[in-house]
Amino acid sequence: MIIAYCPSTTGLERIELPPGAPLPSTSVWIDLVSPTHEEQLAAEKLMGAEIPTREEIASIETSERLYVEPGAVVMTAQLPIATRMIDPAVSSVTFVLNTKRLVTVRYGEPKSIVILSKKVQFDATIAHRGPAVFFAMVDIIVDRCADEMESASTWYDELSIQVFGEGLNTRKTGSYQVAIRRLGQIGLHVSKMHDVCTSLSRVMLFLSAHAKRVGLSEEQTAECKMYSRDIHSIKEHSDALDNKLSFLLDATVGLVTLEQNQITKIFTVLGVIFLPPTLIASIYGMNFSNMPELQWQQGFAYSLALMFASVIATFLFFRWKGLL
């Protein structure tokens, strides 16, 4: 599917082209959504540059993601949708940019694209040129990255309270299992965001190096550096949060170990408490004919009382030593 954005009085008019329809020559932004081969060829003809295929978009090599075509520069970056998608082609968007137009190639539904689509239709301050639309998108993507990291920080804070706020008891095993699983989910989220920021950093550095080729103004070149600093700050935040997640994971596993040790300790103490009455029962269970208490009428009650007293005495001893 091809969605073309052409100049209008209020911004850029969104035109969803039916199959086989020609691309408007006035298109400023061409959004290719899971394009067919024919749609890709039509966009290539208008841009004067080859557009990468889905397999090339999924490539992890920098040379396949960032390169120069005769009529444009081609840049592939992961967007915040990558935090929820495993397929690299779905979570990545390719930007084909020259002085006049921007072409985006995508196979998913990034929220950043949806926000930009609404913005360019009603924001007349965005110049009707490819670089202006691209920088409007970068601004949205950086904001989305910051929001995703803020969400991860909030999840971490809530999890920290869950782990440390209620103290340790033998009934929290289930909550610790949930906490460890949640820690893993947050860790994957942060790791994905780190990959997103890394890919965006490469894009901004590559674009700065080819600023003249795509006709960037001095202000837009300065914006490249500004966005690079913002992305670097988000990466530092993700690194710090990753360290805190590692600490919380170690602490949670340590608490689980302490809880298991506590349970083992209880069984050990109970075994020691019931050892004296077991010994007494074993002695009186001997079948010797000349045992003194064998014919004693109160012998049974006496042995029970003795066993009970030994349990109480052992229990009080452990309480006095602070072991129970």
Q: Could you give the C-alpha distances from 128 to 103, 106, 118, 223, 231, in angstroms and in order?
A: 14, 22, 15, 18, 26
Beta bridge partners of 14: 5
Same domain, 285 and 138: no
Residue 170 has pLDDT above 60, yes or no: no
Residue 35 contacts residue 105 (beta carbons within 8 Å) = yes
Q: What is the full DSSP assignment across 242-300?
A: HHHHHHHHHHHHHHHHHHHHHHHHHHHHHHHHTHHHHHHHHHHT---TT-TTTT-TTHH
The answer to the question of residue 268 being in a domain is: no
Same domain, 202 and 306: no
Over the stretch 13-57, which tens digit does the pLDDT of each residue have? 888 888 878 888 888 889 988 888 888 888 888 888 888 877 777
What CATH number does residue 315 fall under? 1.20.58
Residue in the structure block whose two tokens are 């082609």 = 89
Same domain, 247 and 308: no
Over the stretch 279-305, which tens digit does the pLDDT of each residue have? 888 887 777 777 777 777 787 888 888
Task: Determine the Cα–Cα distance for residues 142 and 153; give it in Å rounded to an integer.
Answer: 17
Worst-scoring range by mean pLDDT, 115-119, 122-126, 168-172, 264-268? 168-172
Strand arrangement, sheet containing 66-69: 12-17, 2-7, 29-33, 102-106, 92-97, 72-78, 66-69
* Phi and psi at residue 208, to the nearest 5°: -60, -40
pLDDT the model gives residue 90:
57
Residue 169 has pLDDT above 80, yes or no: no
Residue 167 has pLDDT above 60, yes or no: no
Same domain, 315 and 175: no
The confidence band for 168, taking pLDDT boundaries of 50, 70 and 90, is very low
Cut 0.85: pTM above it: no
Same domain, 294 and 222: no
Same domain, 254 and 279: no
244-268: average pLDDT? 81
Same domain, 255 and 285: no
pLDDT the model gives residue 280:
83
% of residues, the chain, pLDDT over 90: 3
Buried b vs exposed e over 171-201: b needs ≥16 C-beta within 10 Å?
ebeeebeebbebbeebbebbebbbbbbebbb
Residue 166 has pLDDT above 70, yes or no: no
Beta bridge partners of 93: 77, 106
Same domain, 286 and 193: no
Three-state DSSP state, 95: strand
The answer to the question of residue 306 being in a domain is: yes
The answer to the question of residue 12 being in a domain is: yes
Over the stretch 74-116, which tens digit does the pLDDT of each residue have? 888 888 775 555 554 557 888 999 888 899 988 878 888 888 8
The confidence band for 324, taking pLDDT boundaries of 50, 70 and 90, is low
Task: Determine the Cα–Cα distance for residues 302 and 323; give it in Å rounded to an integer.
Answer: 29
Range of the domain at 290: 274-320
Q: Into how many domains does the chain fold? A: 2
Exposed/middle/buried for residue 161 (C-beta within 10 Å: 0-12, 13-18, 19+): exposed
The answer to the question of residue 52 being in a domain is: yes
Same domain, 234 and 121: yes
The answer to the question of residue 85 being in a domain is: yes
> Which helix or strand (DSSP H or E) is residue 17 part of?
strand 12-17
Same domain, 217 and 300: no
Residue 61 has pLDDT above 80, yes or no: no
Which comes out higher in pLDDT, residue 59 or 286? 286
The answer to the question of residue 265 being in a domain is: no
**How high does pLDDT run on average in the chain?**
82
The confidence band for 322, taking pLDDT boundaries of 50, 70 and 90, is confident
The answer to the question of residue 269 being in a domain is: no
Residue 207 has pLDDT above 80, yes or no: yes
Residue 23 contacts residue 30 (beta carbons within 8 Å) = yes
The answer to the question of residue 266 being in a domain is: no
Residue 64 has pLDDT above 80, yes or no: no
Same domain, 77 and 107: yes
Residue 173 has pLDDT above 70, yes or no: no
Of the residues 237, 260, 283, the one at which a domain ends: 260
Task: Determine the Cα–Cα distance for residues 4 and 25; give it in Å rounded to an integer.
Answer: 10
Same domain, 28 and 155: yes
